[in-house]
Copies of this chain bind each other. A is one copy, B any other.
Amino acid sequence: MKIAVIGLGNAGLPLASVIADSGFEVIGVDIDDERCEKINRGINPIPEETGLDELIGRYGGKRLVATPRYEDARGCESFIVIVPLLIDEGHNPDFRILEEAFRSVGKILKKDNLVVLETTVPPNTTESMIQSWLEEESGLQLGDFYLAHSPERIMTGYSISRLREFPKIVGGVDEESGRLAFDLYRKFIPNLKKVSSSRVAEFVKIIEGSYRDVNVALANELFKIAEELEIDFHEAREYANHDYCHIHLPSTGVGGHCIPVYPWFLINEMEKREWFSFAELQRTSRKINDEMVGYWAERIVLKALDVDKPLGRVKICLKGITYRDGVKGIYHSRNLALARLLARKGLQVGVYDELFTQGEIESLSLRFMDPDDADLVFDCFDLRFSV
């Protein structure tokens, strides 16, 4: 059986590799020509992904063939779509990439094929928009083909072990779709559970994100209070946490493609339905997390009290600009936002990140600064100062 994986990004490529490793022929479709070529030569384009080098080396260009052309996936029996869903500045999902992918799949879809969406989406997306796009382009009706949702639960760096160990769920837009998707997926996902519908599967993934975002906001709120009360938050957190208490770590905010995005799916959906207060806690959490850069900007300015120089000449270095420690990604990075905020205030701020060259940092319109040349260094991940 041949399986198409649409999207060979940080989530799609590990999945495609694990499917190939389970004995299937995989056609991977990705718009990035260069990335496809690399994969076909057996070179892993995501080196920080543990275990991926080996799988790409073994299957790239052989059992896993990457291509920028949907046409090459014609003849596959199953299509797994795992492309990004971004949100715009008004926090509304921008479905263009998803629509392009599903309409392209629709054009090569045949009777009895199965389509599975892995991208995290707002509730009801699979059974409404996605089903329509496929029906419009293929001329088929649901029942001629099958459609399910199995939200990705990877974590960059640990995606392979997540796929092999972590519980994964699948739900169909109808009974038969759910059953078929479950039967396929359990051939390469050992810890697989079936939920009653694609809508439940969508909701499960979103509320995991909301749990994280709200709990990071709580950690940030409690951290600010502890600082005000002159209490060591980390000491208190260590002793507060036990089997029934899971206080998270404070931060400069929440970045990346997932956690800062998913709560908006529910917030917007409730506002559309005129339940304006139904997602108030999630909205408050988003605000608290986003405003942490303002809190840290003030802390950094006040730290300059320890430097015997006019404020305008104090060289401030922010260490760490990615959205997560150790992952070379800057999508929604609040550390980047913090650097820009300080620069806008007129301070002398530069950044340093061991994952980025000076040129890469400058191409982001940021000033590069060696921590050794700074008067004041703020580590954006462990939230500590050195003067």
Contacts and interface: CB of A to CB of B under 8 A. Distances in A.
Interface in A78-112: none
Contacts of A266: 222, 225
Contacts of A231: 123, 199-200, 203
A226 B196 CA distance: 14
A214 interface: yes
A228 interface: yes
Copies in the complex: 2
Contacts of A222: 207, 210, 266
A274 to B, nearest CB: 11
Interface residues of A, number: 55
A307 to B, nearest CB: 26
Nearest to A221: B281
Contacts of A211: 218, 240, 245-247
Best-surrounded residue of A225, A230, A242 (most CB of chain B within 10 A): A225
Contacts of A195: 235-236, 239
A231 B236 CA distance: 38
B167 A123 contact: no
A280 interface: yes
A100 to B, nearest CB: 27
Contact of A196 (B123, B205, B218, B235): B235
B280 A284 contact: yes
A205 B228 CA distance: 17
B240 A204 contact: yes
Contacts of A281: 214, 217-218, 221, 281, 284-285, 288
Nearest 7 CB-CB pairings of A with B? A204-B240, A203-B236, A204-B239, A284-B284, A221-B281, A203-B231, A204-B236
A195 B237 CA distance: 11
A200 B236 contact: yes
A166 interface: yes
A304 to B, nearest CB: 22
A59 to B, nearest CB: 29
A284 B281 CA distance: 6
5 contacts: A207-B222, A214-B215, A221-B280, A225-B270, A281-B285
Interface in A231-266: 231-232, 235-237, 239-240, 242, 244-247, 266
Given A123-B231, A204-B240, A281-B284, 12 more contacts: A199-B229, A200-B239, A203-B236, A204-B236, A205-B240, A207-B237, A211-B245, A211-B247, A214-B214, A221-B280, A221-B282, A281-B281
Contacts of A224: 275, 278
Interface in A191-207: 193, 195-196, 199-200, 203-205, 207
A151 to B, nearest CB: 10
Contacts of A282: 218, 221
Given A203-B226, A225-B266, A231-B123, A239 B167 contact: yes
Contacts of A240: 204-205, 207-208, 211
Contact of A229 (B203, B215, B235, B285): B203
